[in-house]
Amino acid sequence: DAKTTQPNSMESNEEEPVHLPCNHSTISGTDYIHWYRQLPSQGPEYVIHGLTSNVNNRMASLAIAEDRKSSTLILHRATLRDAAVYYCILRDPLNRDDKIIFGKGTRLHILP
Three-state DSSP state, 6: coil
**Cβ pair 105, 6 in contact under 8 A:** yes
Residue type, position 47, single letter: V
11 lines the binding site for other proteins (CB under 8 A): no
Give the nearest distance from C-beta 67 to other proteins in angstroms: 24
* Interacting residue with other proteins among 24, 27, 31, 34 (CB under 8 A): 34
96 lines the binding site for other proteins (CB under 8 A): yes
36 lines the binding site for other proteins (CB under 8 A): yes
**Cβ pair 49, 35 in contact under 8 A:** yes
Residue 108, judged by CB atoms within 10 A of its CB (0-12, 13-18, 19+), counts as: buried
Closer by beta carbon to other proteins, 13 or else 46: 46
Residues 49-68 that bind other proteins (CB under 8 A): 49
* Interacting residue with other proteins among 13, 104, 109, 111 (CB under 8 A): 104
**Dihedral (CA of 10, 16, 22, 23) sign:** negative
Q: What are the residues binding other proteins (CB under 8 A)?
A: 34, 36, 41-46, 49, 93-94, 96-105
